[in-house]
Chains A and B, each alone.
Chain A
Amino acid sequence: MKNKAYVPYFFIAPAVILFSVFMLYPILYSFVMSFQTSVGGIMEFNGIENYKRLFSDEIFLKALKNTFILLIIQVPIMIFLALVLANLLNSSILKFKGLFRVTFFLPAVTSLVAYSIIFSIMLMNDGVINQVLMSLGFGAIPWLSDPFWAKASLVLAITWRWCGYNMIIFLAALQNIPDQLYEAADIDGASRFRQFFSITIPQLKPVILFSAVLSTIGTLQLFDEPYTLTEGGPSDETLTIGMYLYQTGFRYFDFGYASTIAYVIVILVAIMTYFQFKIAGDSE
């Protein structure tokens, strides 16, 4: 039996070959391209010029700022809501759990483009959301035409799409928290509210970290939603790094600089992930 050492290699071969050709090679190649620029259609090295250009590129800096604003506002709101929902769904007195679970997860099944279109139509000036607001006596909100509200629209839409997805992850982890912890807290007279912050959240920390890292990676690459929902507007106020990369690469065909922007995303993901792990590790 022992001489069949090739067997595992046979099993991983298709995956490794496809991965190398379509993932590993492009990742490395775009790193090389991030130091190149096109001179008369031929890629030539230009050192760190592309990286220097980033710092004086106002549109890039704006995209960077927008992406971070979305990240800082959207991810905590979504994770908090997902935690609350998971906690409610985990309640022992609740019936129809499966039905609620599927209902909350359903948004995560839909295509990013499709839901962005639906939200875009709902959020138009004379759209259904403003109609409801006005009939309740509030004023209409310029959702898609005002810099602040355009960002709020994106936060709203992304939270709708991803909240249930994170909720499912938290729900799984909640079922692993020993009941005795809550029973002891009940005896000590701790309120539900207190239990949520003093037992649930600390117990779920590794999973919250996992979700936060995934959501951060997702937000740093954000493309489909701003492309469809706000088209980056008004006046680039919702332009994200992902969108700017697409424009640079496939509207202006500046592949070198677009690769540099891609690597900015790679570097940011690495830094953010490092800090998230560090923060989570320190408070332990």
Chain B
Amino acid sequence: MKKRNVKVRKFGLYFLLLVGALISLFPFYWSAIGATNESGSMFTKPPTLIPGNQLLENMSNLNEQIGIGRVMFNSLFISITYTIIALFVCSMASYAFAKFKFKGRDIIFTIFLLSMMVPYHATIIPLFKMMASWGWLNQYQAVILPNIAYPFAIFLMRQNMLAFPTALIEASRIDGASEWKIFYKVVLPSMKPALAATAIFLFMYQWNSFLWPLIALSSTDMYTFPVALSSLFGLSRIDYGQVMTGVTLATVPIIIFFLSLQRYFISGMLGSALKE
């Protein structure tokens, strides 16, 4: 009796999870199928669920419309540069917050944390005016610089830095290592999982960012994927095959990036949630 009960429960469990997985994955599958078919195929009855042979056609149409290479370059360049600088700046700050006692530390850290509660919208208008007065609008630095000091990234890195043994830092100090060397050669190398988790977080944020790039970038040759896709979808005559190709191209890199580092990301997220 008990054994049968377990079987029924097992069946129910897998059934629910498989339905959930189907719902999670279907939109990805659907957009990939859409990218290989012509515009009308997304509205056929019954629905078209198998790949077609229109991918190259869609790619070349899309390329004419938004310049795939250029958009891909803009998105990659902005996201990678941003991730590297932000990772560096945030881990430096989190190291000081975690491993030093200094005047003003708690106040500054609290201000960083509180700013996470402030909606991004409260900054965009002054940012826009600032960038305009410096002549930075429609340039890469306008999108890269504003969120380098990302409070959540500092928080995430600090949580991990706290666990680093202070004795090791002190031993290096006695050995005569410079403070910078201790940070760069002793502490950072042991932070690889945390760095990977934070990197995914930062990269995802910048790759998917929309509102600020929409405001700051005005010419099509500077557009990132979200802005380019949005402009494509706003046209009066929409070629859906083309749009789905764009959506798929914008999604594939971030999924590859995520899957290759997901082990760290999920444990990094789990780690920070555990300490909440």
* Interface positions of A (Cβ within 8 A of B): 1, 4-5, 7-12, 14-16, 18-19, 22-27, 29-31, 33, 85, 88-89, 91, 93-94, 100-107, 109-115, 117-122, 124, 126-128, 131-132, 134-135, 160, 164, 168-169, 171-173, 176, 206-207, 210, 217, 220-221, 223-224, 227-228, 242, 245-246, 249-250, 255, 258-259, 261-263, 265-266, 269-270, 273
Q: How far is the CB of B214 from chain A (nearest CB, A)?
A: 8
Return the contact of A1 from the options B9, B97, B108, B173 (Cβ within 8 A). Answer: B173
Cα distance A141–B41 in the bound complex, in angstroms: 20
Choose one: A111, A127, A131; the contact of B210 (CB below 8 Å). Answer: A111
- The reply to whether B251 and A265 contact each other, CB–CB distance below 8 Å, is no
Given A1-B173, A16-B93, also A114-B112 (CB < 8 A)? no
Of the candidate stretches B53-61, B66-74, B117-125, the one touching chain A is B117-125
Question: Is A115 within 8 A of B27, CB to CB?
Answer: yes
> Are A111 and B226 within 8 A (Cβ)?
yes
Among the listed A15, A89, A127, which residue makes an inter-chain contact with B42, where contact means beta carbons less than 8 Å apart? A127
Out of A12, A26, A173, A223, which one reaches B130, CB within 8 Å? Answer: A26
Contact B225 A111 (CB under 8 A): yes
- Closest Cβ–Cβ distance, residue A21 to chain B (whole Å): 8
Q: How many A-B residue pairs have CB under 8 A?
A: 261
B258 within 8 A of partner (CB): yes
B1-58 at interface with A (beta carbon < 8 Å): 6, 9-10, 13-14, 16-17, 20-21, 23-25, 27-28, 30-31, 34, 42-47
B149 A23 Cβ-Cβ under 8 A = yes
Cross-chain contact A112 with B208 (CB below 8 angstroms): yes
Nearest CB of chain A from residue B95's CB, rounded to whole Å: 6
- Please state if B119 and A111 are interface contacts (CB–CB under 8 Å): no
8 more CB-based (< 8 A) A-B contacts, given A16-B108, A117-B229, A250-B128: A4-B179, A7-B100, A23-B123, A104-B20, A120-B233, A121-B42, A131-B43, A242-B211
Which B residues touch A220, using CB under 8 A? Answer: 119
B125 contact from A7, A22, A104, A249, Cβ within 8 A: A249
CA–CA, A119 and B254, complex, Å = 19
Q: Contact check, B89 vs A18: say whether CB atoms are below 8 A apart.
A: yes
B81: Cβ under 8 A from any A Cβ: no
C-alpha gap A167/B2 in the complex (Å): 30
Contact code string B259-276 (vs A, CB < 8 Å = 1, else 0) = 100100010011101101
Which residues of B sit under 8 angstroms from A217, Cβ to Cβ?
A: 117, 119
A261 partner residues in chain B, CB cutoff 8 A: 121
In the complex where A16-B149, A128-B47 touch, is A169 in contact with B273 (Cβ < 8 A)? yes
Q: Which of B6, B112, B271 has the most CB of A within 10 A?
A: B112
